[in-house]
Amino acid sequence: MPRKTAADFDQELLILFDAYVHGGIDRRGFLERAQKFAVGGMTASMLLAALSPDFAAAQVVPKDDKRIHTETLSYASPQGSGTMKGYLAMPAKPAGKLPGVLVVHENRGLNPHIEDIARRLALDNFVAFAPDALTPLGGYPGDEDKARSLFGQLDQAKTREDFMMAAAVLRERPECSGKYGAVGFCYGGGVVHMLSTRLPDLAAGVPFYGNLPAPADAARVKTPLQIHFAGVDERINAAWPAYEAALKAAGAPYTAYQYAGTQHGFNNDTTPRFDAAAARTAWERTVAFFNQHLRS
């Protein structure tokens, strides 16, 4: 059976699912409101399952791919949550020191999809490090609903410091050239924006459909940014005109792309919101951007 795409679902249902994923409504609320879309033998629970991630089907780089080396690292975050963990991926036989890329997950912690993203970057000849913000709560629990619930319990001020420290850990890795960038998705896109206002040595930032900082923060952005937006994503896109104006006023270096007709999460190939054409273009742009700014 072919995998479903966003076109197989009513737009109102997709917006409802987005609200559920981001905490606007709970599971019960989603199921109650999704019931009207449950036709042709479908139930609301079946719709939720169809919209949810399928990690195995979407894996691009296997965990045991011999071309890469992966390991779980622990690192100290004294201003944050204490001891944190993250997933490191790099070429198995690197030719000299390589640039680093910090990979920042969505609001579910370090799930298999984000580990796969890190492995993809390793094949593109980067040292990729993907921290797990859920470490202080036991790490990613293997269940997306549980992960979202745990995520709401994090102290976000400490979590921001955990990602700041992760950037330093990556930069100081012996395999890393010292030049590093960051890519993030949804919540992680917001983290990349935050890092761009706080880390003057962040050499490149690529936020995918992430929450934007306050316009006043744009004056602190020195990092070249490549920003990716979904076409149908009012929750994120509404804040862009004000932030873009602030970036322009500050002379901050940025390029922004919006992909017509795509949904929030279009780069995540584990769910029906994935848009293969837009994701391919966005990822090619991402890797080229990192090559441009991190290898010079």
- As a whole number, the mean pLDDT across the chain is 94
Backbone angles phi, psi at 61, to 5 degrees: -115, 115
Report how many helices (DSSP H) and strands (DSSP E) the chain contains, helices first: 11, 8
Whole-prediction pTM: 0.91
User: Given a cut of 90, is residue 251 above it in pLDDT?
Assistant: yes
Rounded Cα gap, residues 166 and 131, in angstroms? 7
Return the minimum-mean-pLDDT range out of 3-7, 12-16, 131-135, 183-187: 3-7
Q: State which CATH number among 3.40.630.10, 1.10.580.10, 3.40.50.1820, 1.10.10.60 fits the domain covering 62-294.
A: 3.40.50.1820
- Reported as a single tens digit per residue, the pLDDT across 101-117 is 999 999 999 999 999 99
Find the mean pLDDT for residues 36-44.
83
Residue at token pair 């993030």: 184
* Ranges of CATH 3.40.50.1820 domains, the chain: 62-294
Q: C-alpha distances in angstroms, 49 versus 31, 145, 270?
A: 11, 11, 12
Rounded Cα gap, residues 201 and 32, in angstroms? 48
DSSP conformation class of 139 = S
Q: Which H or E run includes 160?
A: helix 156-172
Residue at token pair 């169809």: 50
- Reported as a single tens digit per residue, the pLDDT across 267-276 is 999 888 899 9
